[in-house]
């Protein structure tokens, strides 16, 4: 092994912007179970499935649509 290496002609990783970033997110057990079941049927890890779904939401610029109903007592 050399004492020093010359990286002056090295190229920047063009895929670096696409690298994933680790985060902590709280999900309901129902969501985790759903994606884990999908992972078994698709053969794709459940965390990858969640990421793929979120990427699709971003690409299609989906907006969250929710409405709250007031319960009368």
pLDDT category, 59, cuts 50, 70, 90? very high
**Is 50 in contact with 57 (CB distance < 8 Å)?**
no
What ranges do the domains of the chain cover?
25-59
Average pLDDT over residues 11-16: 84
Q: Is 0.75 topped by the overall pTM?
A: no
30: exposed, middle or buried (Cβ count in 10 Å: 0-12, 13-18, 19+): exposed
């Amino acid at each position: 092994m050399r004492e020093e290496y010359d990286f002056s002609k090295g190229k920047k990783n063009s895929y670096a912007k696409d690298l994933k970033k680790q985060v902590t997110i709280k999900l309901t057990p129902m969501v985790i179970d759903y994606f884990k079941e999908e992972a078994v049927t698709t053969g794709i890890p459940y965390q990858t499935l969640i990421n793929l779904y979120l990427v699709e939401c971003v690409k299609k610029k989906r907006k969250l649509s929710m409405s709250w109903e007031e319960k009368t007592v």
